[in-house]
Structure 1
Amino acid sequence: MDLIVLAIRVKDLLPGMFVSSLDRPWLETPYPIQGFMIRSGKDTARLQEYCDFVYVDILKSRANSIPQHLLLKNDNPENPSEAAQIYQLTQQARIPYEKTTSRTEELKAADEHFKQVKMAFKTLLSDAENDDQLNLPVLKKAITPMVKSIVRNPDAFIWLAHLKKLDQYSYHHAVSCAVWAVAFGRHLGLPEDQLNSLATGCFLFDIGKTKLPPALLRSTKRLTAEEFETVKEHVLFGLDMVKQTKGIKTAVIDMIRTHHERHNGSGYPLGISKDQIPLFGRIAGIVDAYDAITSHRPYCEPMPAYQAIEALYQWRGVDFQMELVEQFIQVVGIYPVGSIVELSDGSVGVVINQNEHYRLRPHVMVLLDEKKQFLEEFYEVDLREGLDDEESPNLTIAKGLPPGAYDLDSSQYFF
């Protein structure tokens, strides 16, 4: 295999080299999560404050920026390139998905698919509540176009999942988890049949909660130890239901069984850990936790999305596999879709989609001016623009804001 990533000491970096990985987690530094170009000696000096060596992507670096003697060296430290890390996670060749439509183009189709998915899940819940066999064909029919939409451009469905606060938490949570899981699987390069299985698992992993006391699910207080033991039973209830359903894949059943297992063995119902948890179960655990803490629940208010990312980062290597958390953060961004942010010029807007290689520089719809007054016309800004112009000051995100800041509700806006 040709060498495409080269480990280089920071002191040896030259302008034009593209840094694709660090010798420490990205979130422990101020650098963009998916790499940056070295432009001058100032960049190298600053980088030395954080790292001893970094990984340079040969293909993304400028031509002739890497001296021949470095290209011939083969005594690199263990290569943690993104491609290698993802292969270690999935154990299969990565499909290099590309966006084939714009977010605006995809929104119309995604909106209709979103409605179909919601109706299919309502049918599923009705089946479960009435002890009928789960109507898997209806769910599969709705999931297939949803997955294809996310493959074309995940931004549209991610925005709709944020926008459409469904009438019950169970609906919203299932749809959002499915969207995040498919977007995550797409990032990992999984084939479409596996993306369909991920979505199916997310719609089914909490189906056993239909057998729990409704008052327990609606409780506005923290659960007692005894109540929590009762809630844990939803996993086994769900497994009993899906095992009686024709056409359920083993990977989906395993995902339902293990979505509450944790990396350190503290989860349930089996208490297994690390690689004992199948990949789909590990993915489900992350998306389940992320969506739960960023959603309105009966007993607590949602956490701002950017704080939820920080929380996941703190839980890496404890509740969730470190490498998988780092890859998930690359999917959602440091400021996920729907985040309300203040820009460096004082204006305020909402993140509407990500730049895949510049997660600190998403697309933002600006709603308020620098005096925090509503604009007569909203406008979209791509924070990636102008980044290559060293002479031009770049607009950046100054800080994330909590949900409802300046009386804004980003779920009310359809862009």
Structure 2
Amino acid sequence: MPNSLNPLIRNHGGHVVGYACDGTLAEFPSLVRAAECAFAIQRAAAEREPEAAPDRRLALRIGLHFGDVIATGADVHGDGVNIAARLEQLAEPGGVCFSDRVHDEIIGKIDIDCEYGGEPELKNISRRFGVWFWPTSLRSGRAPRILPPADKPSIGVMPFDVFGAGAEEDGFADGVAEDLTSALSRLNWLFVVSRMSAFALKGVKIDAAEAGRRLGVRYLLEGSVRRANGRVRIAAQLIEASTGAHIWADHFDGRLDDIFELQDEIVSSTVGAIEPSLLRAEAERIRNPRAEDVRAHHHYLRATALMGAAFTNPAGGALDESRELLAQAIELDPGYAPALALAGYFEAKAWLFGRIADGKAGKRHAVDLVERAVRADPQEPLALGAYGFVSANSSGDLDRAVAYIERAPRLE
């Protein structure tokens, strides 16, 4: 297969640097040419066997990154090569995964619809940056599979809305959101997603629950800017993403005579008010679980009691009963990580045992459930173990599966 890629690579101004097992490494004179080649390769591969079932096609993964490389004879190496290789591992079969740098350069120059995937931790790469997936149709509307390391209370500062103003106020609003992100990140007990991650949702019409799910955070800080007669009003509210409940809200008025002084005042006042509100919300969350949480836990415990019977006799009714109990638990508490994890595990078993008529749909559902479980609680051992099991059986990504499974016992 590698040799069949050469004509497309050459046609886009690139050249093959080398091969590694079933992989091909190529470099290009520009990001746009590299991206055009990547999309052309995937489109050509999809057209070669249009009638074949998706799981019978030869599906390629492609990773794109811009960076310095070091040439040693006929070989190249360095961070640019390493990052591209890591991105290739994240790509969906038949898709392309590329970094923020590539996205910023090609967007508007190439007509594509891509999906933001958060800021993954890449093996042996110390820094983090955003990644993007193409095409989105492969993902069937699922949440980004990159799982932010939200192992503590987490928040995302959303882009502030601007009402009845121009570019000056829009820049002011973005500056406030950026400074709030920086200020909140100094609270070492709080995980704050990067500005790049949150601003990827600018202009996207989704509710708080979906925004929290995409960013992998528990709380959202939203706001708006209004201007009238030389004065500006900033309104801000702290929201629990899963429920949409308001935890704190306030507004600040000032003049635009000294925009930086006003911005500093807003950031200082907001962070000062948010920190105790967040701490109270976290304490309340631990101290007083909602009634829905208790009922969800009850359904979860009933499902765990059926595990032995479900797997000893998968043709019996215990497996289906367990899946139904867990579905009820998730409906009551969509963020209950153990229920999501066990539901994903049961769903995978059901599809492996042939208990689901549409095996592909069952596989997608299992993957979605365990991704949501890890996103809800990245420190939950059951979620990590279930994610590893489902990953191994759905994508064959054994390295990723083993990494998650090995983490699970250490957290118990």
Do both proteins adopt the same fold according to a TM-score greater than 0.5, normalized to the shorter chain? no
State the TM-score, normalized to the length of structure 2.
Answer: 0.30
Structure number with the higher helix fraction is 2
Q: Tell which structure's C-alpha radius of gyration is larger.
A: 2
Greater relative contact order structure (CA < 8 Å, 6+ sep): 1
State the TM-score, normalized to the length of structure 1.
Answer: 0.29
Structure number with the higher strand fraction is 2
